[in-house]
Each structure stands twice: as structure tokens, then as C-alpha cells.
A and B are shown apart, each in its own frame.
Chain A
């Protein structure tokens, strides 16, 4: 029998420490929707999504109510649309509009998969899709886009890197009147995963089943509170142990919600993504966990080590708690979405270079970072190349989601609102990598042996 201490602990986590299920994301394969006629193809896409995800939002809301645990987002990920474009030709934006319409019909807030995987080269479909991304993100509300430009097995497609530098700028320019939000809906990956439930980088990999339900948990506030409750003289072994136990409890929520939702929807349960996903709410910050462990401010020396420990402990606790783990699984460090990161940037303690180092030890990459509006595309491409190299060499996923704040400079801020928060414009090293980027070609895949 559950005792009152346990009941109160759970309720306390939900009410005061922001414990929630961040997302339940239904992955839908659109491979069977491919058609040489783009209009027919779009019709099939719309029909399939609205049929399978019809009850997704309602089921989420019901579970939320019955179990008393908030499920913040209900979302959909689909097969990379470049595959459908390859079969149908035509204007890829038609697909984006179809996805947008389907998202509105079923009531999800984002749909991911306006994507292309080009780590080793481009198909005609990939080229058409990438070129259309700025327009697609401008003309739709709910669609998210991602492009995988590198992997440990294939190396880095530097032509794609150069191109994406330009595409990110265009996305920001096209949506300059909406706080450059287009760029916030686009992620550039190295080693992208097939079963990520988190936006903007979610897509349904071609190796996945027809339909699947993935869950992303959250709970930086709970971990921070647990660390805060540790004895003042607790050593790091004990702190890691506390984080592990807390991550276990958080993940069990995800496992429960995923199991119940997949049963009710009649859809196989995919994975639980063990990520600590912060929100701009006070008390729901990854940076504040690091500070609770003992740093004056996130970004100072010691940050990378503390984050490495946190990330590893979260995974160890989470793996025990769930039968199937996947996705990105790690601590996220999206600057604009994390109250502690925002203040660390404002105070000058956290810069782009330190964030880059942090991405080497955690999931996932340079995320929700606002850069000056006049940052040249080659510099953005240079940022992507560096981040991709970290992912490629360390066999991990890395990503870049930077938002050039058109018309703004360092010291100013970009206000997105809601879960996307506020981004201070960060200083960027603008010494030009232009010649390097313009060379194009492929950075060969790294050696995976002779590691001494």
C-alpha cells in the first residue's frame, strides 16, 4: 500500500517542482503515401495522419486528468518529407501546408518531419526540400523542419553545411516580423536519431514501424529540488546517486503514460526519451541544477564536468525505469528556454564557446541560441561544422538551432514567449571561415579504432 509520504512526494513534484510529461509524440510513416502525383500524395498524407492521430490529443488530455500528471505537448512526427518529394516532384511546400492542415485538424501544436537526410549526398528530393524550408516555415504555423548533414559513419557533407548556413539566415529574414521564429523551427543535426519525440528535430525514421508512440519526460525542477535536499557536505558520488534515483522516478511516469496511451490508441509503444528538458518557468532549469551542485553560475569552470555527471546519472536512473529507452536521452541546454541559462548569458558567465564544450558531454547541441542579425551565413555554417564535428567524432547526436535576430545586436533580446522563452543576443566570433566553408566536399568519416 502506498503511504502518505510517497503520495505527498509525488504531488509535491507535480505541483511545486514542475514534474510533467513534456510530450507524447506519435510517429507516423508516410512511405505508403508516396505517389507520382503530388496532389494525390498530399491527400493520402492528410488522410493517414488525421486517421491515426484523430484521438491523440483527447487521449492525452484524458490521461492527464485521470492520473493528475500534466502532459504538456501532444505532437506528431512523420517520415522525412524529402522521401515523398523524391517520388512526386513538385513544390515541397504543398506537403508543408498539408502537414500544417493535418496538425490543425487533430489539434497537435507541432508536427515534425519536414526533413532531409543528406549526410552523404543529395537526392533531387532533398535539394528541393532544403531550398523550400524558409518558405515552408514562413507559410505554416505548426510544421518543424530538420536536416541531417553528418554522421559518424558518413562524415560531414560540407556542401550541405554551407547551404544550411544560408537557409538558417533566410528562415530568420523571412520571419523577421515574427521575432525570426522561422529559424527556431529548424534544426541541423549530426547523427540525427529516428525516434526523437522532441521538437523541432523530431522525424519518424524510415527504419521505424508504421506507427509508434514515443514519450519525452521532463523534470529539471525535481532534480534540482532533490540535489538541494542533499546534505551540505555530500560528495559528488552521493549527488550522482541522488540524481539517479530522481531520474528513475521521473522516467517511471513516462513509462506509465506511454504504456497507457499506447494501449488506448492501439498503437505500439516506442521509447521513453530520458531528457531533462527545461522550460523558462522559474525552478525548471538545467542551469539551476548545475548551480545547485555547486557552481556560482552556469558557464563558469566546472560546468562541463558537472553537466557530464548530471547527464550520465539521468541516463543511468532512466534506463532502469523504462523497458525501452531511446530518442535523444540527455540533458537539454536550450538557452532561451532555460531561466538559469538566460541569466547566465545576461551576467556574462555563459558564452557560445562554453556552450559548445557543454554539447560534447550532453544531449543535444547548440539549442535556441540567438545570434546577432548581421552574422554572415559562412559563420553560421562554421558553427554548424564545428558542432557536427563534435558529434561525428564522439559518436553522439549534436545539433544547431541558432536564431539570427534580424536587426538586433549583442545585448538586445528576442522574446518568443511561452515555452520558447527569451533569448539574449549572444556574441559570435566573426573571424571568417569563408574559404574553408566554400571549399565544400565531404569531411571523411573518422577512424573508429586505433583510439590510443
Chain B
């Protein structure tokens, strides 16, 4: 199973590091990252493998959201199937 993590907010030093550290802490394996900085807005989409995570997915959703709020970022974790079902037949 995979999940999509999206991160948006004002660009600061260490966003990617912070999010990847969180992923490592909960055993979510980062498969792919794409990121852009438009003016000073940071936007990142991360695909992670969640087969081995050491908490429930809905817990990870809350943990990442709270971590984002602490740092002025919006971090969303969503199950990959949502996107697959909408965009793939």
C-alpha cells in the first residue's frame, strides 16, 4: 500500500528534511518526491510505501497534520487508492 503526502506552505530551510525524518520515524518508505518552489511558496508531493508503518494510517494522518501546523505547513496524507480510482480505469 502506498500513500501520497502533500506539503504546502511558505518556503523555509529544512522542510524536506523534516518531513522525511517523520517518514523514517514511522517507517514510511519514501519512493518518489517532486517539489517546486513558486516565488516563496513551497509545494511537495511525496509517494511513500506504508506497508511497514509502525502506526495506523489514520494516526499518521493526524501526526503529520499536527507536525505541519507546528511549522506553518499544510501536510496531508492520503491513501493512494483515492487517486488511482479517480484517475485510472
Q: Chain A residues in contact with chain B, CB under 8 A? A: 1-2, 4, 6-11, 62, 65-69, 249, 252-253, 255-256, 260
Is the beta-carbon distance between B84 and A67 smaller than 8 angstroms? no
A-facing residues in B70-89 (Cβ within 8 Å): 76-88
Is the beta-carbon distance between B85 and A253 smaller than 8 angstroms? yes
B83 in complex: contacting residue of A2, A62, A65, A260, CB < 8 Å: A2
Is the beta-carbon distance between A256 and B6 smaller than 8 angstroms? no
Is the beta-carbon distance between B79 and A7 smaller than 8 angstroms? no
Which 10 residue pairs are nearest across A and B when measured between Cβ atoms?
A: A68-B78, A65-B58, A256-B85, A6-B87, A252-B85, A2-B83, A67-B82, A66-B57, A67-B79, A4-B45
Q: Is the interface of A mostly helix, strand, loop or mixed?
A: helix
Q: Chain B residues near A6: list those with CB within 8 A.
A: 83, 86-87
Any chain A CB within 8 A of the CB of B32? yes
A371 vs B8: C-alpha distance when bound (angstroms)? 47
Q: Chain B residues near A9: list those with CB within 8 A.
A: 87
A10 vs B76: C-alpha distance when bound (angstroms)? 12
Any chain A CB within 8 A of the CB of B61? yes
A45 vs B80: C-alpha distance when bound (angstroms)? 39
Q: Chain B residues near A11: list those with CB within 8 A.
A: 6, 76, 78
Q: Chain B residues near A8: list those with CB within 8 A.
A: 45
Q: Chain B residues near A256: list those with CB within 8 A.
A: 81-82, 85
A147 vs B74: C-alpha distance when bound (angstroms)? 47
A-B contact pairs, 12 of them (CB 8 A): A2-B4, A2-B80, A6-B83, A7-B45, A62-B58, A65-B58, A66-B57, A67-B79, A68-B82, A252-B85, A253-B85, A253-B86
Any chain A CB within 8 A of the CB of B47? yes
Q: Which residue of A lies closest to B32 (CB)?
A: A1
A249 vs B45: C-alpha distance when bound (angstroms)? 21
A276 vs B60: C-alpha distance when bound (angstroms)? 32
Is the beta-carbon distance between B82 and A65 smaller than 8 angstroms? no
Any chain A CB within 8 A of the CB of B34? yes
A7 vs B33: C-alpha distance when bound (angstroms)? 13
Q: Chain A residues near B84: list those with CB within 8 A.
A: 2
**What distance in Å separates the Cβ of A309 from its nearest Cβ neighbour in chain B?**
23
Q: Chain B residues near A1: list those with CB within 8 A.
A: 32, 47
Q: Which residue of A lies closest to B60 (CB)?
A: A66
**What distance in Å separates the Cβ of B30 from its nearest Cβ neighbour in chain A?**
14
A249 vs B88: C-alpha distance when bound (angstroms)? 9
Q: Chain B residues in contact with chain A, CB under 8 A? A: 4, 6, 32, 34, 45, 47, 57-58, 61-62, 76-88
Q: Which residue of B lies closest to A260 (CB)?
A: B81
Is the beta-carbon distance between B86 and A66 smaller than 8 angstroms? no
**What distance in Å separates the Cβ of A61 from its nearest Cβ neighbour in chain B?**
8
Known: A65-B58, A66-B58. A10 touches B81 (CB 8 A): no
A61 vs B6: C-alpha distance when bound (angstroms)? 21
Is the beta-carbon distance between B58 and A7 smaller than 8 angstroms? no
Q: Chain A residues near B87: list those with CB within 8 A.
A: 2, 6, 9-10, 249
**What distance in Å separates the Cβ of B62 from its nearest Cβ neighbour in chain A?**
8
Is the beta-carbon distance between B32 and A67 smaller than 8 angstroms? no
A11 vs B83: C-alpha distance when bound (angstroms)? 9
Q: Chain A residues near B45: list those with CB within 8 A.
A: 4, 7-8
Is the beta-carbon distance between A66 and B85 smaller than 8 angstroms? no
A199 vs B47: C-alpha distance when bound (angstroms)? 38
Q: Chain A residues near B82: list those with CB within 8 A.
A: 10, 67-69, 253, 256
Is the beta-carbon distance between A7 and B57 smaller than 8 angstroms? no
Known: A2-B80, A65-B58. A7 touches B4 (CB 8 A): yes
Q: Which residue of A lies closest to B3 (CB)?
A: A66
A67 vs B3: C-alpha distance when bound (angstroms)? 9
Is the beta-carbon distance between A68 and B77 smaller than 8 angstroms? yes
Q: Chain A residues near B79: list those with CB within 8 A.
A: 66-68
Q: Chain B residues near A66: list those with CB within 8 A.
A: 57-58, 61, 78-79
A255 vs B84: C-alpha distance when bound (angstroms)? 12
Is the beta-carbon distance between A10 and B83 smaller than 8 angstroms? yes
A8 vs B27: C-alpha distance when bound (angstroms)? 25
**What distance in Å separates the Cβ of B58 from its nearest Cβ neighbour in chain A?**
4
Q: Which residue of B lies closest to A19 (CB)?
A: B86
A9 vs B45: C-alpha distance when bound (angstroms)? 13
Is the beta-carbon distance between B57 and A255 smaller than 8 angstroms? no
Q: Which residue of B lies closest to A256 (CB)?
A: B85
**What distance in Å separates the Cβ of A442 from its nearest Cβ neighbour in chain B?**
47
Q: Chain B residues near A249: list those with CB within 8 A.
A: 86-87
**What distance in Å separates the Cβ of B27 from its nearest Cβ neighbour in chain A?**
17
Q: Which residue of B lies closest to A61 (CB)?
A: B58
